[in-house]
Amino acid sequence: MPQKNNTSENASAGENELSSILTEAGQSSHESEFFSPIPKGYIPGRHKYVVVLGTVMSGLGKGIFSSSLAKLLKDKGLQVEPIKMEGYLNIDSGTLNPYRHGEVFVLDDGMETDMDLGTYERILDQNLGEANFTTSGQVYRRVLDKERLGGYLGRDVQMIPHVTGDVKYNLRKLAMDKKADVVFVEVGGTVGDFENGFYIEALRELAFEEGETGVCFVALTYVIEPQALGEQKSKAAQLGLKKLMEAGIQPHLVACRAHNEVEENALEKIAMFSNVPKRRCFSMHDRKSIYTIPESMREAGLDREVLTRLDIHDRVNQRHEDKAREDWRKFVSMITRKRKFTAKIGITGKYAKIRDAYASIDKALEHCGTHLNAELDVHWLDTTEMNETDVTRELENLDGIIVPGGFGKRGTEGKIACIKYCRENALPYLGICLGFQMAVVEFARNVCGLADAGSTEFDPKTTNPVIDILPEQKKIEGLGGNMRLGGKDVQVKS
């Protein structure tokens, strides 16, 4: 009994210390900088943060890793909320070329975001909104708008505390508004990138202000395995982790991406050079399906290490976890089972050379195949220079095609040729966004006799605009943020 009282007293003392740190941070900012990174009503210690950072190179799968870890905590009954922080100055992802950043993923409220948000929605099975995504452009715009309105009371606006303070403020506000137990913060790019440096500084400050158990830093690194050498090399991972530590961030867990399972000697070296115990260094090697990753992480004990670091074991609902784990096990067994039959599906578009441009469609097909017990053989068809001869050759052995969305005139005639083939040969067809509009154009041209039918989006002078830009959008200038997006109710009348 005395030990229990001592534990309670220590916890109470820790909470008081954390509260005083946050109060001091808020007051000092108010007095000297005219800015507080603490939202009104914020409760110290109520919300925790898991920060996922990448080293060595980008494209390691931080979104897959972060969403899988978040799922493990959600399975335990915790309320989790992800946020992706991008370093680019664009206000959103809407105008980015798919060849550079993959698809633009549109959230339920219409926010145009990075494709990683799609990964979070699919693995966590929850809809996200604009608060779950930010860019450097958004941060700077908020700070500059506030300065123009006199929000800093004449103070010289600086990277610290105002820009980093804005990052901390909005992270805490997300946690409060969503009543999150744990906020998962994914920083885009790689440690050492100039454009994400202020995010890393803000997160260092957040860890100091939130206290010892407030933030868990996870470093995702890469273990190289040169084919010519035939062995794994951890030097790049070691140097990447050193770079992170130079920025003032001590990782608490290290996840090592690799083609094959990371060997013990490589993990030992990484542990030594990162000051992270070997039990908290994990192999995150390639898997047959990303949906097997959460269970692999659970078996490795990664979720338990996070709970211990954040001191939230008492928030776990074991019954909830058991049911969620069984449901996920059934889903994964459906994905990995041998299928009864195969269907060949074509996806046509001008970005067909890079699959990430149509990632959501690819994943939707994977899920459909899983539930229908079908192996889907997807054929990617570039319509940029496709003619009717090419269409017949490419489509005659397919079981159906999808024409996804797109912009501009390039590739549209190839899409129309594909649509015509589907109509004339009774080939199942799904048109999404521009793909549906082109089906209207094809029908108008080849069935209704309107040979010059088109869309005013890419042919403003067409004499038969069967697809027209919405009247309220005709006066809009520029490309960013001007579309009607998001989840909306649609009333269809005959």
Give residue limits of the domains in the chain.
31-330, 339-473
Under 8 Å between Cβ of 119 and 67: yes
∠ CA 173-174-177 to the nearest 5 degrees? 80
Q: How many Cα atoms occupy the beta-carbon half-sphere of 455 within 13 Å?
A: 22
**Per the omega criterion (within 30 degrees of 0), is the bond before 161 cis?**
yes
> 283 phi and psi, to 5 degrees?
-85, 125
Would you state the pLDDT for residue 28?
A: 53
Under 8 Å between Cβ of 118 and 105: yes
∠ CA 196-199-204 to the nearest 5 degrees? 130
CA distance 419 to 160: 55
Would you state the pLDDT for residue 201?
A: 98
Burial of residue 225 (number of CB atoms within 10 Å: 0-12, 13-18, 19+):
middle
Burial of residue 193 (number of CB atoms within 10 Å: 0-12, 13-18, 19+):
middle
Would you state the pLDDT for residue 2?
A: 45
How far are the Cα atoms of 59, 94, 349, 383, 422 from residue 417, in angstroms, in the given order? 36, 28, 12, 9, 9
Rg (CA), the chain: 26
Torsion sign, CA atoms 423, 428, 433, 435: negative
Would you state the pLDDT for residue 1?
A: 44
Token reading at 130: 């604009």
Class of domain 339-473: alpha beta
Closest to 182 (Cα-Cα) out of 307, 320, 49, 85: 49
CA distance 7 to 447: 79
User: Which pTM does this prediction carry?
Assistant: 0.88
Q: Which residue has 């922080």 as its token pair?
A: 85
Mapping DSSP to helix (H, G, I), strand (E, B) and coil, where does residue 228 land?
A: coil
Residue 132 amino acid letter: N
- Same fold for the domain at 31-330 and the one at 339-473? yes
> Which ranges of 211-274 does DSSP label H, i.e. alpha helix?
235-246, 264-274
Would you state the pLDDT for residue 34?
A: 59
∠ CA 103-140-156 to the nearest 5 degrees? 170
CA distance 114 to 102: 8
What string of pLDDT tens digits covers the 494 residues of the chain?
Answer: 444 455 555 556 666 666 666 666 555 554 555 578 999 999 989 999 999 999 999 889 999 999 999 999 999 999 999 999 999 999 999 888 887 888 999 999 999 999 999 999 999 999 999 999 999 999 999 999 999 999 888 889 999 999 999 999 999 999 999 999 999 999 999 999 999 999 999 999 999 999 999 999 999 999 999 988 889 999 999 999 999 999 999 999 999 999 999 999 999 999 999 999 999 999 999 998 999 999 999 999 999 999 999 999 999 999 999 999 999 999 999 998 989 999 999 998 888 878 888 999 999 999 999 999 999 999 998 888 777 778 899 899 999 999 998 777 787 888 999 999 999 999 999 999 889 999 999 999 999 999 889 898 888 888 899 988 877 777 776 666 667 788 888 888 87
Mapping DSSP to helix (H, G, I), strand (E, B) and coil, where does residue 480 land?
A: coil
Residue 208 amino acid letter: F
Domain 31-330 has CATH 3.40.50.720: no
